[in-house]
């Protein structure tokens, strides 16, 4: 998600496709306590070597709405999701490259994974920055310290039986410029995927929220990532391609033009046939994830209808990799109803992940960091209701 002021600078595309955009580049949000390392994982984790890697839409049925106190109802769910969890965000923070761990960016408290897993979560989207992983360029070597920290996170999650989705949070950019070197991007992914090729609980996310880019380039970058991952010997894991326009579910098929995600992304191929199309969906008026006010109490289900139809018509499956909403009765009802709708359409929807948790989010409106994050109690209830026990 989001255009944080602390994120890597975003370059304007020279030939961006005229497709719907989810949020304006003027949007910015900062995490709380971003200069404090008090709640960050121990910096001794930097000594972990990178080589330590472990070998047509249905009608929405009414759902019992959660209360405005931040708790979902106790009504049982069908348990149809394959994945339910949260995003972990913080390793992509900061404008300094490579930056200082504990000052410019942070990694994630492993104890919080235990908390989430005990409540039913079985997947974590581990966000990080490409420039810190390979600071010398797309084809550069993996930085031992930063790569070691990523590996420590992945190994901890997967050792608990949960899935680790590794996510370069780069918006299709590297050092602020749109990535146009598809061969270099393929090499970048081949190098990284080789480290995790034998870990069946790893999921590869090609890149977070491509936007304002030529549509054919977005498709080519996704295909390059898929090819690189499979060439690395990672042939059993899922890959989640993301679309242009911030991969918004609400705009996936918008305008029915030849340049939108729905018209182009279905052409991706995978020798392992394990693609899960990742879309994002926020519930505020412009779907930007910048407000605690939701459109109405059915907005999540409503905005997923067209994408649901696309998935089914194209014989694809999808996942909501980011969703978030304010902690109030209207938003909570919209979230609960939307997740129920997804479960009713579980032939095409595999699950969902809340945005976001992480130790530096402070008073952020969607903060789900245990135990005191603004949204934690609500999301904890969602995990208990919609979660999937790890296996």
CA distances (Å), 390 to each of 119, 127, 245, 300, in order? 11, 21, 33, 26
Query: What is the full per-residue pLDDT of the chain (391 aa) written as tens digits?
Result: 544 333 332 222 222 222 233 343 333 333 433 333 333 343 333 333 333 333 333 333 333 333 333 444 333 344 479 999 999 999 999 999 999 999 999 999 999 999 999 999 999 999 999 999 999 999 999 999 999 999 999 999 999 999 999 999 999 999 999 999 999 999 999 999 999 999 999 999 999 999 999 999 999 999 999 999 999 999 999 999 999 999 999 999 986 676 799 999 999 999 999 999 999 999 999 999 999 999 999 999 999 999 999 999 999 999 999 999 999 999 999 999 999 999 999 999 999 999 999 999 999 999 999 999 999 999 999 999 999 865 4
Q: How far apart are the first and last CA of the chain?
A: 29
Residue listed under structure tokens 């970058």 = 221
Q: State the SS3 of 332-385.
A: HHHHHHHHHHHHHCCCCEEEEEEEEECCCCCCCCCCCCCCCCCCHHHHHHHHHH
Could you give the residue numbers annotated as active site? 209, 322
Q: b or e along 205-242 (b: 16 or more beta carbons within 10 Å of the residue's beta carbon)? A: bbbbbbbbbbbebbbbbbbbbbbbbbbbebeebbbbbb
Q: Please give the model's pTM, rounded to 2 decimal places.
A: 0.83
């Amino acid at each position: 998600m989001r255009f944080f002021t602390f994120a890597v600078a975003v370059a304007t595309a020279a030939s961006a496709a005229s497709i719907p955009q989810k949020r304006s580049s003027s949007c910015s949000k900062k995490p709380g306590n971003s200069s404090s390392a008090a709640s960050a994982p121990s910096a001794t984790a930097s000594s972990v070597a990178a080589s330590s890697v472990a070998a047509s839409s249905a009608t929405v049925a009414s759902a019992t709405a959660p209360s405005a106190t931040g708790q979902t109802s106790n009504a049982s769910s069908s348990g149809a999701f394959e994945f339910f969890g949260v995003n972990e965000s913080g390793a992509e923070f900061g404008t300094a490259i490579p930056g200082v761990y504990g000052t410019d960016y942070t990694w994630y408290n492993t104890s919080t994974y235990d908390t989430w897993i005990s409540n039913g979560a079985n997947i974590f989207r581990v966000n990080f920055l490409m420039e810190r992983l390979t600071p010398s360029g797309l084809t550069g070597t993996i930085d031992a310290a930063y790569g070691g920290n990523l590996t420590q996170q992945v190994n901890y999650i997967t050792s608990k039986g949960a899935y680790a989705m590794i996510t370069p949070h780069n918006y299709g950019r590297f050092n602020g410029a749109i990535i146009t070197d598809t061969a270099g991007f393929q090499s970048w992914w081949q190098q990284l995927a080789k480290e995790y090729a034998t870990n069946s609980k790893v999921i590869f996310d090609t890149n977070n929220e491509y936007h304002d880019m030529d549509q054919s380039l977005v498709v080519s970058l996704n295909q390059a990532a898929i090819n690189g991952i499979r060439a690395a010997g990672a042939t059993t894991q899922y890959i989640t391609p993301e679309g242009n326009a911030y991969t918004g579910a609400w705009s996936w098929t918008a305008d029915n033009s030849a340049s939108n995600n729905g018209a182009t992304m279905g052409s991706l191929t995978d020798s392992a046939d394990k693609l899960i199309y990742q879309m994002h969906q926020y519930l505020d008026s412009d779907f930007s994830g910048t407000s605690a006010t939701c459109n109405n109490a059915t907005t999540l289900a409503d905005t997923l209808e067209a994408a649901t139809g696309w998935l089914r018509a194209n014989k694809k499956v999808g996942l909501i990799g980011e969703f978030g909403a304010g902690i109030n009765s209207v938003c909570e009802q919209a979230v609960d109803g939307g997740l129920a709708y997804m479960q009713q359409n579980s032939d095409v929807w595999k699950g969902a992940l809340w945005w976001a948790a992480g130790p530096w989010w402070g008073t952020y409106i969607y903060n789900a960091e245990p135990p005191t994050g603004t949204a934690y109690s609500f999301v904890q209830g969602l995990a208990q209701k919609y979660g999937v026990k790890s296996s």
